[in-house]
Amino acid sequence: MNKLQFHYFHLMPWPYLPADYDQKYDSAWVTLPNSIYDPIKGHALYNRYLDEIERADKLGWDSVIVNEHHQNAYGTMPSPNIMAAVLTQRIKRAKIGIVGNALPLHDDPLRVAEEIAMLDVISGGRIISGFVRGTGMEYFSYSVNPTISRERMDEAHDLIIQAWTRPGPFAFEGEHYNYRYVNIWPRPIQQPHPPIWLPGTASTETIDFAAGHKYPYMTVFMPMDQRKRAYDMYRRLAEEKYGYEAQPEQLAFCVPCVVAESDDIAMKEGEKYVMWLFNKALKVRPEFFVPPGYMSVRSLRGMLESGTYGRKASFKELVDTGVVIAGSVDTVVEKLAYLTDELHAGMLVTGGHVGEIPDYLVLKNQTMMAEEVMPHFREKPVRAEPKPVEIQPV
Amino acid sequence: MSDVVTPIEKNERTVNVQGIATHIFEAGSPVAPPLLYLHGTNLGNLWLDYHRALAQYFHLFAPDIPGFGLTERPDWMRDMSDYILFFRDLLNELGLDKVMLVGHSIGGWMAAEIAVWYPERVKKLVLSNAAGIRVKGSSIADIFAMNAQELIAACFDNPMAAMPLMPAEFNVDFLLVQYKERTTLASLAWNPSYDPKLERRLASIKCPTLVIWGANDRVIPPVYGDTFHRQIANSRLVKLEGTGHMPMFEKHEEWARSICEFLEQGKD
């Protein structure tokens, strides 16, 4: 079995949606009234989530990951860098991923370069820096023009990489970002810079960008056949367009994993809690999901013609199509092995917390993953042959 | 003035402006005063009763604004200044020195800007349910957040009047055309959805101006019409009852009559 890295991803959702949520609200994003958020409960929740992440570190997960989302119940981390700063003080072994900062949403990406550099220095070089465009919904929430999203993404990326790697001061002259003095203090520890990840939903443009820069590309919540197509495209672009062979560490997959004592129990627990993610937290008006100009016409045509957008799926269908992995240890190992051995992917990104899942189930999930699933994908330690102890003469 | 709209022969062609193949309808008597009509979002490549009504009295030029209808928008064309210069050059290309300028919605914004920047090219100005300014406390509706049904409900008092805009088939191609046109609108009006400097500059418009609004406009509230009227000294205001953002669909006779009467007054 090929090797697999295990990354513990937390969305920090707001699970306490009102009983009439399904009838009364058409979106968990942009317009869901923030009176639903209770800061007192939020205080307890943030700290509970941080405890969960700390356990993942102690259980041996390779990294812990946070991300950026705005004005929604799906994920309550508008500033992932603040959360990462907290984690530098709690997490002393694992890497700390921010996957990612939504670059085009910010008018000043130099600030992102500075903050990631700070975090890298504070954490002793343990930062993974994801870059994302942000969801379509966030272009409404932040009033950022979606028609220039990709241009701002590309340009902010170039600025940040240069800020980390070029001796300052220098001028950055872009179409959307223009700085006379780029000269960040501090600079990151990791050289040439912290690793960059790019999550995506299989748009050709993002896969090409990731392959071109040799950045890990992370497929998010998508059926296995779509993941396969995305990885095939990445590998083909790497080989034919950019002249190298893509490595497993460049192909990541973000997938909810439910592991339990048996397939039956996993299906029941998954259905009860993971469906919250798809039915409630990802409930979005289509107009928010794809604002004008956010996607290329080609990518949008692909999405519309596939007929998958907006289709309601049962938990069983999600499991059958590979959007979710659920089962006993053997089942989960077998499914992950398909990803590592058939799709050549080498990084699993998953978390245990969705909706109102009780803490004991989060603990069970993260522990079973770490203790019973993970070892199948680790290099076996080389055992030394027993031999008599030689006693050296004094 | 007669209410009877007789059939008008239209001429359809493509004019090259700044390298942009611009689709345009032309109709009416060549000796009548020229009228440039600038349409609203998603209203390009249409030839309807309100066009015919205008062409009865004027030499009508109705181009598809780049990014709408059959006129493509080049990638560099991204803000209002690009459109103002485009229309200056379109007038040159059409050999029109001075026109009656009528604009609706986003086209009304463009018309107001043209009147500010090129006053010598505008004989009279008509702003119908026009965008371009902001009235604090009375936001323009976020049409980007609306689905097709909500958009029709916001734009029309009488949804049946939207029938000319219904496609033969709701398919992926139709959705992609809508998406591309919304993208053009977003490039101009996502944020800010107006020109912060336009309201002050309206004072420089000296030509006779008609501000005409559907009294029930839920997209650009009538208070915007009041504001245009207040800022343009030589203007008059007409509010049409029983219609909203699309008076040329719902009350096309009243709308066209008001405009034609205004434009014909004192004409030589």
Q: What is the CATH number of the domain that holds B46?
A: 3.40.50.1820
| Omega within 30 of 0 (cis) for the link into A100 | yes
CA nearest A293 in B: which residue? B183
Looking from the CA of A211 toward its CB, the CA atoms found within 13 Å total 24
Kindly list the domain boundaries of chain A, sorted by start residue. 5-377
pLDDT number for residue A201: 82
Confidence of residue B9 (pLDDT cuts 50, 70, 90): confident
Task: Please list, in sequence order, all residues whose beta carbon lies within 8 angstroms of the beta carbon of residue A6, skipping any fewer than 6 positions away.
Answer: A60, A61, A62, A348, A350, A369, A370, A374, A377
Work out the minimum CA distance from A26 to partner chain B, whole angstroms.
12
Output the six-digit token pair for A76.
């309550």
Q: Is A134 left (phi over 0), alpha (psi -120 to 50) or beta?
A: left
* Side chain identity, residue A116: I
Mean pLDDT of B26-31: 96
Residues in chain B: 268
pLDDT number for residue B7: 55
The CA distance from B185 to A253, in Å, is 36
Taking CB atoms and an 8 Å limit, are A143 and B190 in contact across chains? yes
pLDDT number for residue A310: 76
The count of other CB atoms within 10 Å of the CB of residue A195 is 14
Taking CB atoms and an 8 Å limit, are A147 and B183 in contact across chains? yes
Q: Count of domains in chain B? A: 1
pLDDT greater than 70 at residue B1: no
Task: Please list, in sequence order, all residues whose beta carbon lies within 8 angstroms of the beta carbon of residue A154, skipping any fewer than 6 positions away.
Answer: A209
pLDDT greater than 60 at residue B65: yes
**What per-residue string of b and e applies to A202-215 under the rule 16 or more CB within 10 Å gives b?**
bbeebbbbbbeeeb
pLDDT greater than 50 at residue B205: yes
Residues of chain A where predicted confidence (pLDDT) is lower than 50: none
pLDDT number for residue A47: 97
Work out the minimum CA distance from B177 to partner chain A, whole angstroms.
9
CA nearest A307 in B: which residue? B172
Confidence of residue B124 (pLDDT cuts 50, 70, 90): very high
Q: Which domain holds residue B118?
A: 10-264
CATH class of A5-377: alpha beta
Q: Cα dihedral sign for B231, B236, B242, B246?
A: negative
Chain A residues whose beta carbon lies within 8 Å of the beta carbon of residue B79: none
The ipTM value here is 0.94
For the whole model, what pTM was predicted? 0.94
Chain B residues whose beta carbon lies within 8 Å of the beta carbon of residue A146: 186, 190
Work out the minimum CA distance from B173 to partner chain A, whole angstroms.
8
pLDDT number for residue B217: 98
Chain A residues whose beta carbon lies within 8 Å of the beta carbon of residue B76: none
pLDDT number for residue B267: 60
Chain A stretch 139-158, residues whose beta carbon is closer than 8 A to a beta carbon of chain B: 139-140, 143-148
In a domain, B171, yes or no: yes
Q: pLDDT for B235-267, tens place per residue?
A: 999 999 999 999 999 999 999 999 999 999 976
Taking CB atoms and an 8 Å limit, are A304 and B175 in contact across chains? yes
Task: Please list, in sequence order, all residues whose beta carbon lies within 8 angstroms of the beta carbon of residue A209, skipping any fewer than 6 positions away.
Answer: A154, A198, A215
In a domain, B2, yes or no: no
Counting one residue from chain A and one from chain B, the pairs whose CB atoms sit within 8 A come to: 52
Confidence of residue B268 (pLDDT cuts 50, 70, 90): very low
Taking CB atoms and an 8 Å limit, are B176 and A304 in contact across chains? yes
Mean pLDDT of B71-83: 97
